[in-house]
Structure 1
């Protein structure tokens, strides 16, 4: 009797705390996506100017920019890393695989004139 009560309490605690972790993660991802959305127009302008490019790992790379541009790039790459890690967990892959797949999607959807990196590492303007 005591063992089953203990197991029941352990399961209830796991479900309660597990749900809290899941909710916190969902809220964190929502916050990350919100930040990414807020900086999208600034990133588009910086990519159009040639200051930033999209590398073959799904990250932003500094091409010809200043410290402020580097700060935007760093913030975006931190948020992308969070999203890629979560997608990797959900799909049973690695963040690197997710990033490379995302790089291909980004390259296809990028505007003309944006710097992109090919899988072999060479850069080109779309």
Structure 2
């Protein structure tokens, strides 16, 4: 949970600054907890937690750099955070043809990077992809908590609301 929070905080630095927080180096407690839950037979000391592979660092940088381009779409209500840990296009009304294309391209790139991040976390920690939905859920909650005001948020019961 904690590393997911910190990755999301890093990817959303403007939101972090508005909330008066500071960026912290990544910690691995959340992943250790998740690994203990998912692999109960392994003692904590035996778990080699790896969340800083070159691929993860590159994905984090990509997510962070893209946020400036996504922010306006979130604020306008064109883009939202779904319950599975991905962005979802909500409303394209009022957007010109170029803006619609930009929104679709950016949302596609964001979701591709998020999926790659989740899979790399599993790979780096020798977890099967059957645990992907758990990782997605952990990140979904963090993306939603750091969402830009005015953006759409999907709750666990599939209902959408504005933040």
- Normalising by structure 1, we get a TM-score of 0.71
- Distance in 2, matches of 1:83 and 1:95, equals 11
Q: How many residues align?
A: 102
Correspondent of 1:110 among 132, 138, 147: 147
Residue 100 in structure 1 maps to residue 137 in structure 2: yes
- Distance in 2, matches of 1:33 and 1:44, equals 17
Which one has a larger percent helix, Structure 1 or Structure 2?
1
Greater C-alpha Rg: 1
Residue 54 in structure 1 maps to residue 81 in structure 2: yes
Shift of 1:55: 0.2
> Which 4+ runs in 1 deviate beyond 6 A?
none
- Distance in 2, matches of 1:79 and 1:71, equals 12
| Structure 2 counterpart SS, 1:64 | coil
Residue 35 in structure 1 maps to residue 62 in structure 2: yes
Structure 1 unmatched ranges of 5 or more: 1-24
Report which structure shows greater RCO (CA 8 Å, sep ≥6): 2
Contact 1:87 1:95 in 2 (8 A): no
